[in-house]
Structure 1
Amino acid sequence: MWGAVSGAGGAAGVLLGGVLTQAWGWQWIFFAVAIGTFLVLVGAAVSVPRAPVTGSGRFDLPGTATVTLALTALVWGLTTARREGWTDTAVLGAFAVTVVLGAAFVLVERRHPNPLLPPRLFRAGRVSVGNGLMALLGSVWIALFFFLPLYQQQVLGSSPLVTGLGQLPLAAANMLGSTLAPRISRRVGATATLTGALLTEAAGLLWLSWIDAHGSYLADVLGPSILIGLGLSIAFVQLTALSVEGVARQDAGLAGGLVNTSRQVGGAIGLAVLATLAGTTTAHAAAHQPHLEALTAGYRGAFGTSAAVLAAAAVLAALLTRGGRTPDGETPATADAAASTTRTC
């Protein structure tokens, strides 16, 4: 359900973005996000039940500050490197700040009585594996929705509204894959399902790496979009389940929040790296190719690299998630508990 709702929300967002951009300008995208966020805050304040405070009750302000500033420095360094170069003093300084603040965050979390990210969480189940793979998935997820609309508008010449409508098949495939994921997992096993989903999405991105400057939506975008939507949604469902597998009941919400944070952080880093790659490729190609050809070369490079990242993620998934679940999708501990309960009854 979470995967299907995410797919529906993504489709609505892309379509609404196209409508707002074409009707009132791109600034309205940010106004809409602000309004939507306010409505969510009000809804949460009204409808989410209060929970008792656990631990010391002290908010982990040092941990929050260090991890936020570390990630900000990292993304800033990656995005600035394209313009200033990887050996620029400011870029290297940003990376150094990232390392120092990252180490400080680890120390803070070990000593704080109520840490933002308690170390015990990573000793449970497959939390580390699930979050690492989700970060890799996220690194190409956000970049996809950045480069694909740019190709449709800047190269194919589609309007913002038509571009938004063009994302609907991907969103429909996303919702379909989310509903099919549990059934596929029960039939072939969680590891095979996750590996196959990542390879399916990689195949769609590899297909996109062959886009043409004089192509069309039907020939260059539609088919890959459906493959990507199916693979993305199934992988998302499987990785979300993997990341909360074996986690204690009181940490379930924390584990769920962490895996979504990993996706967003991976997306920010991946977009910074892929945008730098695409921009550099386009700049080199512009010296001897027409403008549209140079733009397309940059987008092809971003899609091809994304496909390689997901192929590597599929290999890691096959190696690191083996044996974590029974063929029907249950963890071994859950299956044993269910069998014990049956015997008791």
Structure 2
Amino acid sequence: MPDHQQTSASPNKNAILAIILISYVMIVLDISIVLTGLPKIHAELGFSDAGLSWVSTAYTLAFGGCLLLGARAGDIFGRRRMFFIGLTIFSLASLAIGISQTPAVMIAGRAVQGLGSAILAPSTLALLQTNFEAGPERTRAVSYYAAAAGVSAAFGLVIGGLLADWLSWRVGFFINLPIGIAMMIAAKRFIHETDRNPGTFDIGGAIASTLGIVALVYGVIRSASTGWSDAMTEAWVGSGIIMLIVFAFIERRASQPIMPLSLFADRERSAAYGARALFLGANVGFYFFVAQFLQSVMGLSSAEAGIAFLPTTVVNFITAMSAPRLIARYGAGRVLITSVGAGLLGMIWLSLAMQQASLLGLAIPMMLIGAGQGGALGPLTASGIVRVPSERAGAASGVVNVAHQLGSSLGLGVLVATAAVGSQGLEGVELLAQRASVAMETGSLLIAATLILAIVFMARPRTRPETASTTA
């Protein structure tokens, strides 16, 4: 009888996993598809050079600023319900972006799309945690979830370049609507609503966290064009830090905090959040600078630059798909350390190879970086939600996503700022090549810090009682 139940349950679990992964892939794909489509968006909608950055900035600010609020809403109102709401907002905003004819409509649509992502992203991870039991089942699901993030980011550059050159950048947004509708129909059939945890919103915490994250992220993004000595940049960053300090004080006193500080009491979880931020900062910088290097220094078209990322993408996919088996055999700690080590070697090698500007010379370090991404994100995600009780699954998922977004934004800001070091007197192609090489050197330092955190806090194998306690 148990065998029969296990067999009949398997298709439903596979369907749930597919729904979660496809929905999450939509979010990640849109982030990277936009990068290679920006030149066409710039020309077609008549953006100014300064205004074009808001295509990404509006999305990033709304996404990062509302993540904790979206995660808490899932805990209170039910994660499937918030999954539907987030997917609806995201899909309709994608349609509005696809038909936009002016920069204002495009930017507004991207901000609303970011809000949808802020609701949808933590809901997907929380649903995964509550639908898959701790142990091999959840390890497999989390590995595929992390793989979806890494592979989608890489494939997005390829797809974005091909769509921009061969069809239209709008296609990448139009396709979200039918996929979103299909996922909502499938979710209604296969995903059951989670138990609600009656409570109230931490209004003070929600306001402070949103204002703090938005101000900090905007200040870092602004620094890319104005430099860190700009008074307004310093004001934005400073106010963001102050608001986040205020947020921490509010959370200590709140009866039902939007981000329970107890999530940081576990050393492995805390280290996972920091390691994720560092690792993502380096790897987002990798895509940002290498995409420019391939087009501006090596003279590739958008489509050719996207295809040039295939060494990273293919190895990322293969490693990510192999991660559950590798973790089962060698342990999550060893897989994490080996993967981060491979990424570190690839980043250092890439910084040197860029000086030769040879596609063949770039291929091997880009493959190592892909292996690092494919193998590291699964264990980092698992460590970020380990030993979290079911009623706080949404909050933990929100913190994982906040670490992801803040790491991406702050890391890219740091790499952009340091890329200018040593470039005095250079111009044109030489300047771009120098900036990209220095950025990869800085990215190497961020990954080295990730490796230290992994060795010190996440390398120890988990005991069976601790693993069992993660059951949601």
The question of whether the paired residues in 2 share the 8 Å contact of 1:55 and 1:113 is answered with: no
1:333 is matched with which residue?
466
Tell me: CA distance 1:144–1:307, structure 2 relative to 1, closer, same or farther (3 Å): same
1:162 is matched with which residue?
304
Gaps of 5+ in 2: 1-143
Q: Which moved more, 1:140-149 or 1:66-75?
A: 66-75
Task: Work out the CA distance in 2 between the residues paired with 1:124 and 1:44.
Answer: 35
Say yes or no: does 1:263 pair with 2:404: yes
Say yes or no: does 1:89 pair with 2:231: yes
Task: Work out the CA distance in 2 between the residues paired with 1:275 and 1:262.
Answer: 19
Tell me: CA distance 1:120–1:55, structure 2 relative to 1, closer, same or farther (3 Å): farther
TM-aligned CA deviation for residue 32 of structure 1: 5.2
Equivalent of 2:352 in 181, 186, 210? 210
1:233-279 Cα shifts (integer Å, max 9, x gaps): 1111111111122111333343234213311210011111111222x
Task: Work out the CA distance in 2 between the residues paired with 1:44 and 1:179.
Answer: 23
SS at match of 1:115: coil
Task: Work out the CA distance in 2 between the residues paired with 1:311 and 1:261.
Answer: 21
Alignment of 1:79-228 (within 5 A): 79-124=221-266, 126-212=268-354, 215-220=357-362, 222-228=363-369
1:299 is matched with which residue?
436
Q: TM-score scaled to structure 1, two decimals? A: 0.83
The question of whether the paired residues in 2 share the 8 Å contact of 1:196 and 1:314 is answered with: no
Tell me: CA distance 1:112–1:41, structure 2 relative to 1, closer, same or farther (3 Å): farther
The question of whether the paired residues in 2 share the 8 Å contact of 1:211 and 1:296 is answered with: no
Tell me which of the two structures has the higher relative contact order, counting C-alpha pairs closer than 8 angstroms and 6 or more residues apart: 1
The question of whether the paired residues in 1 share the 8 Å contact of 2:320 and 2:374 is answered with: yes
Amino acid at match of 2:423: A
Equivalent of 1:55 in 172, 190, 198? 198
Identity of aligned residues (%): 28
Amino acid at match of 1:238: P
Tell me: CA distance 1:316–1:6, structure 2 relative to 1, closer, same or farther (3 Å): closer
Q: TM-score scaled to structure 2, two decimals? A: 0.62
TM-aligned CA deviation for residue 172 of structure 1: 1.5
Q: Which moved more, 1:126-135 or 1:256-265?
A: 256-265
2:451 is matched with which residue?
314
Amino acid at match of 2:159: L
SS at match of 2:205: helix
Tell me: CA distance 1:110–1:165, structure 2 relative to 1, closer, same or farther (3 Å): same
Task: Work out the CA distance in 1 between the residues paired with 2:332 and 2:402.
Answer: 22
TM-aligned CA deviation for residue 318 of structure 1: 0.8
Task: Work out the CA distance in 2 between the residues paired with 1:40 and 1:141.
Answer: 28
TM-aligned CA deviation for residue 131 of structure 1: 0.9
Tell me: CA distance 1:211–1:266, structure 2 relative to 1, closer, same or farther (3 Å): same
1:64-90 Cα shifts (integer Å, max 9, x gaps): 332222122222323333544434332
1:193-248 Cα shifts (integer Å, max 9, x gaps): 2222111101111111013466221222x111110111111111111111122111
Task: Work out the CA distance in 2 between the residues paired with 1:73 and 1:255.
Answer: 23
CA RMSD of aligned residues (A): 2.8
TM-aligned CA deviation for residue 10 of structure 1: 2.8
1:287-339 Cα shifts (integer Å, max 9, x gaps): 2x45211110000000011012111221221112243425xxxx55337999x
Moved over 6 A (4+): 335-338
Query: When the two structures are aligned, how many residues end up with a matched partner?
Result: 324
Amino acid at match of 2:448: A
Gaps of 5+ in 1: 339-345
TM-aligned CA deviation for residue 286 of structure 1: 5.5
TM-aligned CA deviation for residue 174 of structure 1: 1.1
Amino acid at match of 1:240: T
Alignment of 1:1-40 (within 5 A): 1-23=144-166, 28=169, 31=170, 34-35=173-174
Task: Work out the CA distance in 2 between the residues paired with 1:299 and 1:211.
Answer: 11
Amino acid at match of 1:334: T
Amino acid at match of 1:173: V
Equivalent of 1:74 in 192, 207, 216? 216
The question of whether the paired residues in 1 share the 8 Å contact of 2:355 and 2:437 is answered with: no
